[in-house]
Structure 1
Amino acid sequence: MKLFHLVMWRMSAALIVILTCWAVLFYLAVMEEVNDEVDDSLETYAESLIVRSLSGEEMPDASNGSNNQYFLYEVSESYARAYPRISYRDEMVYITEKSEKEPARVLMTIFQRDDGTFMELVVYTPTIEKFDLQRAILGWIVFLYVLLFLMILAVNAWVFHRNMKPLYHLLKWLEDYHLGDTSVKLDEKLPIVEFRKLNEAINSASERSHELFEQQKLFIGNASHEMQTPLAICRNRLEMMMEDDSLNEKQLSELMKTHQTLENLTRLNRSLLLFCKIDNRQFSDVRTVCLDKLFESYLEDYKEAYSYRRIRVNVDEQGCFRLEMSESLATVLVTNLLKNAFVHGKEGGEISVRFTSSSFEIADTGDAPLDGKRIFERFYKGNSAREGSTGLGLALVKSICNAYDLQITYAFQGGMHVFSVSMN
């Protein structure tokens, strides 16, 4: 969602709440004022009727042509004691003069005559149609909201396009920027302080990145030339020698062992180079990665590759664990933990995997706990190391977690080695 759309959506939601509260308060204030005026009129009329009744004067007609009507009747003392002396309410009453029902304001009061009898006086007068008032207020509120919304939309569109030009230029610059490219720099003389500081920080960061990039390119190039090439030559020569039909079985076996050792050395070299890239954050393929989806894409391949170990795999997906990170490093993170479970898990045992929105946990069956303090050290293999293991798999996982502020823990619970990755 764009920033403009997000701001407009939030402002619209805030306006709906504010205008709704205002409409309710406005309606209550209007009705309070109307009822107050009507109540004053009813009180005056009721007082004149009570004075006439107490003085023994002749009472006026119940309907006097002004739409005001009253009823006066005697009530018991217990009734008089149980009800308040004066009360107001709204109800629909029949107006004799108009021969129809209309909303009215009703006053009920109880007074005592000189002879000790209690009288109840009910006075009512027609009032405004409250439903009509509600509809009128709602109509004006809708009109006001639409008018304000269109005005705010127009003003914000003008403000955004006027004042956010440096931000759009910065985004375009970042889209076109390539690591090591220092030919085009951002303008550091902008009138807006925040954008000026942002451009200065990005220019400084790009310069540092360029320096690190050049250093790493030099290191990686030298390492690749000095190590990978000789290793590849040795492997090729061994493969050519293994194709010689004159070799006996023992010689061929020794060559195969040597070839496997070179394979292990090649993997070790690749791992060390990967460590170097991670430590220097030399990965540009950062995106939103869902670890459970990534895990599913590799699970079947590992099941097939290690099917001879007869390990059962149970996956419990309680949520999608999303992270902003390099997809290639996310793959290394997931596959190293999965491979570790298959390789070091008990044959015929079980692998249990659980995903939540903020964590990833993988457990494999084991006989005894590992050294939790050293399990993530480089080249640490422990007592159950497999042939060909470099001792760098879990160390790589730890390094990746540190690079992206993730926490990885190990525990031995219920006869299972449990590795858990979560957000700090």
Structure 2
Amino acid sequence: MKLLNKVTIWFVGIVFLITPITMIISRTNIKRNLDQAEVERMREVNDRVARQLEAGEKPDRYTHGRPIAILPIQGPLPAEKESVVIDNFVSEDLGQKECRITVNSFYQVGDQAYEISSFNYVIKSEEIFKGMLSAVVWKVLLILLAVSLTARLLSKKVFKPFHRTMKAIHQFDLKQKQPIQLPPTSTKEFQELNSFIKKMTDKAMDDYAAVKEFSENASHELQTPLAVIRSKLELLSETNIDGTQAALIGDMQNAIEKLSHINRSLLLLTKLENQEYKAYETIKFCRVTKEVIAMYDDWLSMKEITLTTSLDKNIPLIIHPSLAEMLISNLMSNAIRHNHEKGMIRVELTRKDFCISNTGLPPEIPTHELFQRFKKSNQSNESIGLGLAIVKQICEVNGFLITYEYQNGWHLIRIVFEPGKKGDSIRSAKELETVTI
């Protein structure tokens, strides 16, 4: 949900929460003030009648037609010289609830005590509440409409620098070696955000350049001594040596080749992490798959491995051609290396996914850990433990989903080209065994 919508919902929620409370407080205050004003008015009326009695005037002219009663009382005046009575009752004539306030005042006029009472019908709380409710409903509707409209209009102006900043971040590329250009803004919070982003991107560019330079220099510098050692060992192998020395030289050559392979693989992983392989065109993945598989015919024949393929035609895929070859090559070499003699390999390619499965011994560690660098099972000492890490990194760079499953003697690695798509389910190794065998 967008920030603007969250703020709008929060504001509307506060309005709906506060409005009933303010309505109750307002109704109570209005009712109390109206009643108090009416009591004051009737108190003044009673006092005026009392003054007429003291002056010896007849109050008939003033009380005629008014709700005023003058009653002589016997005995002394009560302690409370005034009482206010509020009655709520249902009028038989009108058939509705009424509210009446009566003010009873006691006066001593000469030797005679009088009770002067006046009353009046006042507005009920329900009527005040109904009037306020109608006004509040319209008020809330107008607030919602005004907030919705003004929020949209203000967002285009207030959040414009933010949207431009987000656009600049999306367009920023470390490999272009160009500092990020952020739009100017007068909003303090956006200024702080732009300043932080500027510092972070500048640091990321420096770190990227340093890592790239280090990896390239390290790879280059390591290749030179490895080449020298390799050539010296070849010269040494041509001299007069016995069988033990020849075996030691062979072991050293194998170690040098493995070290060279590790160096190249780590350099490749660094380039993948730095996203130096970007796909700008669509390739036919089926054709690349066939070409790579053809390169392993001799190795398959040597280990007498049966290969079964099921490749759909015309499978377009947006991926760098070199990464596509590395992906399939690493999976094929992994399937052959960790297979039995006279084992089986099955390769399947559809528009949804690419699956390669092979027979072999069960892995000695959880399958998901085999995607980590230098993590390998002890099935083959020839592996350096970087093949599946490279495959995993290639999949992450291109947005593919890769899974590894082992069941019933089958290793199944599956790459989903469009993860999250409906109707996309993972086939198990048991199903694969049923189809293959």
Give the structure-2-normalised TM-score.
0.48
Give the structure-1-normalised TM-score.
0.49
